[in-house]
Structure 1
Amino acid sequence: MALIALATPLRAAGDAAELAQAAASELAAAHDRLERAEGASDRVAALTATIAAYEKGLAAMRESLRAAALREARIRAEFEAQRDEIAALLGTLQTLSREPAPVLMLHPDGPIGTARSGMLMAEATPALNARVVELRERLMEARQMRAVQEAAADQLAQALSGVQQARTALSQAVAERTDLPRRFTADPIKTQILMATAETLRAFAEGLPEITDGPEDPAPQDIPALKGELALPVQGTLLRRAGETDAAGITRPGIVLATRPRALVTTPLPATIRYLGPLLDYGNVIVLEPASGLLFVLAGLDIVYGEMGEVLPQGAPIGLMGGEDPEPGAILTQAQRGSGQDRSETLYMEVREGGTPQDPETWFAVTKDTQ
């Protein structure tokens, strides 16, 4: 009876397997989209959507692998914690299987004791059988979780190859693009002087109107109506809010997003490229102007796309984060450890309106677990 009392409810199996299956479907769809993108008339837009689909599918696959690894570890921990109980159950079942049923019913107290033991056996046997079924299902679930992780290796290898191919094709398509409108042409000498003399990001931003060569078309005057609801320019998680001090004791007015290596960065709104390239200690920077007096400053990219003065549509690619894609084995290892520390790159983002820094969280839909 103590053995029966220790029995725990069986959790629904298959959630992680269903997540993995859904992720595999997303990756397959991304592969099909890549093949169609090669012949698309607007290859930049098609390849951008393809990379976004791959990133979404890979994120879902990582999550499903993490769920499978955690579930397998939980089942194994439960078995370890109930080792004595399971050993007692196996011993009882072995005894029942060796002795004939009539012998088991006999009791030294005579017919009354025998009757009582028979009733107890009649009540206990279904519970024992239920416990056996439960343990068998848990073992099968543990095997299923292991199978999910083993099957994912090939899927991850194909997906990583596909997204790398799409990034290469995107870089080429951006270089060949000639149909974007221009608001201005940047003077390279004025640009170099501004880069050499500006000691802060604020000073640089204030000097950007001075680097144009010739007349400049006016920027849109209307502030976007989607303020507060804009999608982030990259898939990532919020690492540091505006005004928070970092480990080096530096406080900045922008936010820091943790991203995965080689993550694609896109325009949150239609915008003009006011500047792109290395700046101060920020690494590669791109400054976007969605409206007159409004600047989005994105810093920390490895590769930047476009030219100063070009007007980009919403969702256009503007660069890639740094780092290297992990090997499938490394992704599986991270998942088996239950680790979410796979976002090794950081993107810094400021919003400036009328020359004054604004909290980006008043513009963008940002949460701590933003994906």
Structure 2
Amino acid sequence: MRAPILNLLLMVSCAGASLFAEENLAQAQTAAPAPQTAVISTDAIKQREQELEAARARQKSAEEAQAKLKAEIASLGQDRTQLNQQLIDTAANVRTVETKIDEAEARLRTLNGREQETRASLDSRRADIVEVLAALQRAGRRTPPALLVRPEDALQSLRTAILLGAVVPELRSRAEKIAGELGELVTLRKSMAAERDQLASDRDKIRSDQTRLTALVDERQRQQASREKDLDAENSRAITLSKQVGDLQGLIAKMEQDLQSAAKAAEKAAEAAKQAEAKEAKAAASAKPGPAIFKDRSRTSPAILFASAKGLLPLPVNGNKIRDFGGSDGVGGVQKGISLATKPGSQVTTPCDGWVVYAGPFRSYGQLLILNAGGGYHVLIAGMERISVNIGQFVLTGEPVATMGSTSQVASILATNASQPVLYVEFRKDGTPIDPGPWWAANEGEKVRG
């Protein structure tokens, strides 16, 4: 019986220590004599030397990593299959870590809230804690231990400072409650420290992956530019044409009719759709295709007819759905696609295979990307800050194509969600917006996981 009671009282004393530690520390610092100027100066110099050395080491490490990355990318050469594989895998890694960071931040917010509640509860009973500590002092017939900065330090000191045999039931009940809250506080602090360490590790990893992804995207676009000599002129002409039309359907028609690279892309999409339709007709009796159908990174046409891809497509960004197809668009109209609230700088990947028929700014949509997925289907993605693909380019499902900014770019969303970026996604069949819901992979749900 003695041991449980002793442990309980030790924990109560820890509660007093944790509550009053900051005050005692401040008093001790005020009363402490000021160190000599010469000592401060020497310590400051040493610290700056160490910081400089650490900065040099980090710079050297970054340079070595960059050199290694350049060598890896150079070794890919003109192998489009390997480059595609690296792009898609790295983009998937980035989105996975983005999700882990979001989840860790959510857990930290919960833990912070619980810590504040526990500390508030203890703080509201300061008088009770003081009374319990005074009773411990009287029962132990000795001076209570010095209040230390950390509860763990106080506990260690009290193990040798307090020897009690029994305590009155009323005091024990009060002590149990205080000790329980203190135990929860210590556990919370340990959990928060572990979460912060993991969060820091994930943020380091995502910086490394983003650097790699940027280099891979640059290489992909360099190769694309070398194949398309008039790329800049085509892009400029696309922007000029976009200013001559007033709606999305007009933009699609204008691009695929008047712009050479977009017209070629549309022709390839139509031809590929016919070939895929013929193949699917022959294999009509086979099992329904699954995600494995997208594994071939060397393909230069869609892996499957868009109409047959229902339940297979990944959402293009990590975030939360804030508007769904058919709901209010926030400006008195009906939503023709879905809107996903994201974090600043989030990676945007393609939800399907297709040819880029437009990439650039368009009216109130901000930066707009339009893919011809074949079979009369088009996928429109808007609201990004930067697009990293060109008109005429064929992209694979999961390939990185854009990056979100720090605020909303789509005018219809700006009024109600100005504080965070929002991605708008719309599917069209023969020019008419359709519900994209049936196409998303079943495990995507409201929370996008990529």
Q: TM-score, normalised by structure 1?
A: 0.66
Q: Which residue pairs with 2:16 in the alignment?
A: none
Q: How far, CA to CA, are the matches of 2:365 and 2:388 in structure 1?
A: 17
Q: Is the 8 A contact 2:339 2:422 kept in 1?
A: yes
After superposition, what is the alpha-carbon deviation per residue over 1:134-168, rounded to whole angstroms, capped at 9, x for unaligned?
24422322432553476578547634643552353
1:308 and 2:391 aligned: yes
Q: Which residue pairs with 2:336 in the alignment?
A: 253
After superposition, what is the alpha-carbon deviation per residue over 1:159-192, rounded to whole angstroms, capped at 9, x for unaligned?
464355235323422323349999xx99679745
Q: Which residue pairs with 1:52 in the alignment?
A: 95
Q: Is the 8 A contact 1:234 1:266 kept in 2?
A: yes
Q: Which residue pairs with 1:108 in the alignment?
A: none
User: Where in structure 1 do 4 or more consecutive aligned residues deviate above 6 Å?
Assistant: 33-37, 122-126, 179-182, 185-190
Query: Equivalent of 2:308, from 218, 225, 238?
Result: 225
Q: How far, CA to CA, are the matches of 2:321 and 2:117 in structure 1?
A: 29
Q: 149-158 or 305-314, which moves further after superposition? A: 149-158
Q: Is the 8 A contact 1:68 1:149 kept in 2?
A: no
The alpha carbon displacement at 1:45 in A equals: 3.4
Q: How far, CA to CA, are the matches of 2:392 and 2:311 in structure 1?
A: 26
Matched residues, number: 305
The alpha carbon displacement at 1:266 in A equals: 0.8
Query: Equivalent of 1:271, from 339, 350, 354?
Result: 354
Q: 350-359 or 150-159, which moves further after superposition? A: 150-159
The alpha carbon displacement at 1:277 in A equals: 1.2
Q: Is the 8 A contact 1:260 1:342 kept in 2?
A: no
Q: Which residue pairs with 1:61 in the alignment?
A: 104
Q: Which residue pairs with 1:28 in the alignment?
A: none
Instruction: Look up the SS of the partner of 1:177 in the other structure.
Output: helix
Query: Equivalent of 1:209, from 256, 270, 273?
Result: 256
Instruction: Look up the SS of the partner of 1:79 in the other structure.
Output: helix
Q: Which residue pairs with 1:162 in the alignment?
A: 208
Q: Which residue pairs with 1:70 in the alignment?
A: 113
Instruction: Look up the SS of the partner of 2:365 in the other structure.
Output: coil
Structure 1 residues 130 and 318: alpha-carbon distance in aligned structure 2, compared to 1, 3 A threshold: same
Instruction: Look up the SS of the partner of 1:74 in the other structure.
Output: helix
The alpha carbon displacement at 1:296 in A equals: 1.0
Q: Identity of counterpart residues, as a percentage?
A: 24
Instruction: Look up the SS of the partner of 1:59 in the other structure.
Output: helix
Structure 1 residues 308 and 82: alpha-carbon distance in aligned structure 2, compared to 1, 3 A threshold: same
Q: Which residue pairs with 1:370 in the alignment?
A: 448
Q: Which residue pairs with 2:220 in the alignment?
A: 174
Q: TM-score, normalised by structure 2?
A: 0.56
> Which residue type is aligned with residue 219 of structure 1?
A
> Which residue type is aligned with residue 362 of structure 1?
P
Q: Which residue pairs with 2:183 in the alignment?
A: 137
Q: How far, CA to CA, are the matches of 2:353 and 2:104 in structure 1?
A: 31
Q: How far, CA to CA, are the matches of 2:340 and 2:88 in structure 1?
A: 24
Structure 1 residues 370 and 51: alpha-carbon distance in aligned structure 2, compared to 1, 3 A threshold: closer
Alignment map for 1:259-338 (pairs within 5 Å): 259-323=342-406
After superposition, what is the alpha-carbon deviation per residue over 1:322-369, rounded to whole angstroms, capped at 9, x for unaligned?
129xxxxxxxxxxxxxxxx99811111111112211122233256444
Structure 1 residues 313 and 188: alpha-carbon distance in aligned structure 2, compared to 1, 3 A threshold: closer
> Which residue type is aligned with residue 204 of structure 1?
L
Structure with greater helix share of residues:
2
Query: Equivalent of 2:325, from 242, 248, 253?
Result: 242
Instruction: Look up the SS of the partner of 2:392 in the other structure.
Output: coil
Instruction: Look up the SS of the partner of 2:243 in the other structure.
Output: helix
Q: How far, CA to CA, are the matches of 2:343 and 2:418 in structure 1?
A: 6
Q: How far, CA to CA, are the matches of 2:239 and 2:175 in structure 1?
A: 80
Structure 1 residues 50 and 139: alpha-carbon distance in aligned structure 2, compared to 1, 3 A threshold: closer
Q: Is the 8 A contact 1:238 1:367 kept in 2?
A: no
After superposition, what is the alpha-carbon deviation per residue over 1:286-326, rounded to whole angstroms, capped at 9, x for unaligned?
111223111110011111122222221211111111129xx
Structure 1 residues 226 and 94: alpha-carbon distance in aligned structure 2, compared to 1, 3 A threshold: farther
1:349 and 2:349 aligned: no
Unpaired segments ≥5 residues, structure 1: 1-30, 100-119, 325-340
Q: How far, CA to CA, are the matches of 2:106 and 2:196 in structure 1?
A: 15
Q: How far, CA to CA, are the matches of 1:251 and 1:72 in structure 2?
A: 44
Q: How far, CA to CA, are the matches of 1:85 and 1:34 in structure 2?
A: 60
Q: How far, CA to CA, are the matches of 1:156 and 1:35 in structure 2?
A: 23
Q: Which residue pairs with 1:107 in the alignment?
A: none
Q: Is the 8 A contact 1:34 1:47 kept in 2?
A: no
Q: Is the 8 A contact 1:276 1:307 kept in 2?
A: yes
Q: Is the 8 A contact 1:302 1:320 kept in 2?
A: yes
Unpaired segments ≥5 residues, structure 2: 1-61, 77-82, 143-165, 278-304, 408-416
Q: Is the 8 A contact 1:278 1:284 kept in 2?
A: yes
